[in-house]
Amino acid sequence: MPDRVDGLPSGEDPRDAGRTGRWLAAADRHARTSAFGAGALVALALPPLNLWPCLLGFALLLHLLRRQVGPWRALQLGWCFGFGHFLLGLYWIAIAFFTDAERFGLLAVPAVLLLCAGFALYPALAALLTALRRWRSPSAAALALATAWTLAELLRGSLFGGFPWNLIGYAFAGSDALAQLAALTGIWGLSFVAVLVGALPAALLEPGGGARRRPAAAAALILALLWLGGAVRLVGASPQPVEGVTLRLVQGNISQHHKWQPELRARWFQRHLELSAEPARGAPVTHVIWPESATPYALEQEPEARRLVAAVVPPGGLLLTGGERFDLASDPPRAWNSLFALDSSGRIVARYDKRDLVPFGEFLPFRDVLGRVGLKKLTGGSFDFQPGPGRRTITLPGLPPFSPLICYEAIFPGAAVDPNARPDWLLNVTNDAWFGRSSGPYQHLAMARFRAIEEGLPLVRSANTGISAVVDPWGRVEASLPLGETGVLDVALPAALPAPPPFARLGLWPLIGLLGGGAIVLVWLEISPRRAR
């Protein structure tokens, strides 16, 4: 029996091949639209859906890059892919503009479009780097795309203050076993794997008989080995609670458009006080944690507010709360987004000022220029928040040393702790009410979980509208309060790993080793006499 019928591999239905050929021909004719759709498809692999098969959008992108000629065309396709990817992944940013619809509502759509258009330049760069050479092997091309994409993500996380939101490695947040690679390479190693396993099946779209199935099989094998390694790491992984510490996480669940109305501030403050004073549901509560900006009063200037807070501080314990602090004597006045720790006498015993501020949210970049054309930041007030001095480890009575992370400070890989004073846990206070009931809060929690894996430290997260959670040092959620629920979560504090994982000790070196190994395989594939691998 012949191996091929009408030019097709043995066993392949000519009708299926014909349909595939027509589909690919249509994709080639409308390459930019196809790239846009492929990018949007890949966004579905991210939290909260974590639909891993959608990573195959990278296969279509790679197919288009191998069919299209020229660097300018590659830039266009990469940009279209990135625009679709970020548009679907970051649509929820528009919700923030409607917290003050009268002032900012009209800016919602153009702002998101411009933001996504800017971020799409990074995938455009990755596509350009991939297309600089006409790769003989589709597997080598997949490795080139995975490497270029990872490098572009590293740039996105550092240039202009950085915005490493929705790195594609977070697609594996739905599997505790797969996520463990972050302990070795950080989230970027998972990004490399995600693009590689998504792009390797592009070989199925090329002629080559049975050999073209090998890259797809390699992708499945990579995932299987990665899962196996993570599963082995999790065998017997059971954190012990820190003795004598029971935390109460307070989730006030206050919508953003109501949060700062002057006539309602006292009500929201009282809600936090009442939740904090509820009877314990197990072991006695030793420390209470409120979310970011939970205190509507300037604690340093408001002794009455400190007195009310002191009334709900557990005996011998502390209350940690997000709030704003001000220096009104300076010209112009200055403000900080801060975390305060208060004892049972109402004394502020520690303070941390947020370093990584949100552009257009907490400060207006290029204020001298943009302010003249009428642009403003979304948060109230006419002046910008000031950045704090940087990460610090705080040691307080009755608590192991911890590293505070306010809001989106938790999204920066490799920057969650002070490297000179390693803490025992991470504390993330945040106000995700800006995102509404969208995918934003789920994405934010997923990213915070990976900081726990990378550092080998438990993470405690108190969020205004949710999702408040306690995460063990392997990144597993031990307890949580759902999005949009009012309540408290009384939890033990998990202990840290006895020794930091490789990423916490070595930084980017394991990732460099991974990319270097990929480069060696890429060269071998290119010099091999067999063209399809």
CATH class name, domain 242-358+388-494: alpha beta
pLDDT of residue 122: 98
- 242 or 19: whose pLDDT is higher? 242
pTM, full prediction: 0.92
In sequence order, which residues have a C-beta less than 8 Å from that of residue 322 and are 6 or more positions away?
290, 291, 292, 293, 294, 295, 337, 338, 339, 340, 406, 429, 431
The question of whether 259 is a catalytic residue gets the answer no
Alpha-carbon gap, residue 145 to 130, rounded angstroms: 5
Longest dimension (CA), the chain: 91
Pick from 77, 201, 188: nearest CA to 128: 77
Bridge partners for 320 per DSSP:
289, 341
Q: How far apart, in whole angstroms, are the C-alpha atoms of residue 57 and residue 49? A: 15
The answer to whether residues 196 and 219 touch, using CB atoms and an 8 Å cutoff, is yes
Distance CA 101, CA 60 (A): 39
Going by their DSSP bridges, the two strands 8-9 and 4-5 should be labelled as antiparallel
Looking at the predicted structure, is the pLDDT value of residue 263 above 50? Answer: yes
- Taking residues 128-147, report their average pLDDT: 94
Q: How far apart are CA 24 and CA 19, in angstroms?
A: 9
Do 84 and 38 meet the contact criterion of CB atoms below 8 Å apart?
yes
Residue 292 is among the residues annotated as catalytic for this protein? yes
pLDDT of residue 17: 53
Strands in 487-494's sheet, in edge-to-edge order, are 348-353, 334-342, 318-327, 287-289, 241-251, 487-494
Q: What is the pLDDT of residues 307-327, one digit of tens each?
A: 999 999 999 999 999 999 998
Which residues on neighbouring strands pair with residue 338, listed in sequence order? 323, 353
Residue 35 tokens read as 């790239």
Q: Are 304 and 320 in contact (CB under 8 A)?
A: no
Over the Cα atoms of the chain, what is R_g?
25
The number of CA neighbours under 13 Å toward the Cβ of 300 is 16
Tokens, residue 443: 């994405």
pLDDT band for 392, please (50, 70, 90 cuts).
Answer: very high
Exactly one of 354, 377, 409, 455 is catalytic; which is it? 354
Q: What is the DSSP pairing of strand 459-463 with strand 468-471?
A: antiparallel
* DSSP designation for 434: G
Residues 286, 292, 297, 303: is their CA dihedral positive or negative? Answer: positive
Residue 529: predicted pLDDT: 67
Catalytic choice (324, 407, 454, 455): 407
H/E stretch holding 217: helix 213-234
Q: Determine whether 274 is an active site residue.
A: no
Residues with Cβ within 8 Å of 479's Cβ and at least 6 positions away in sequence, in order, are: 469, 470, 489, 491
Q: Of the residues 54, 80, 153, 292, which is catalytic?
A: 292
CATH 3.60.110.10 segments of the chain: 242-358+388-494
Nearest to 451 by CA among 430, 481, 437: 430
Sign of CA dihedral 435, 439, 442, 444: negative
pLDDT digits (tens, 9 = 90+) for 339-384: 999 999 999 999 999 998 887 767 666 455 455 444 554 555 556 7
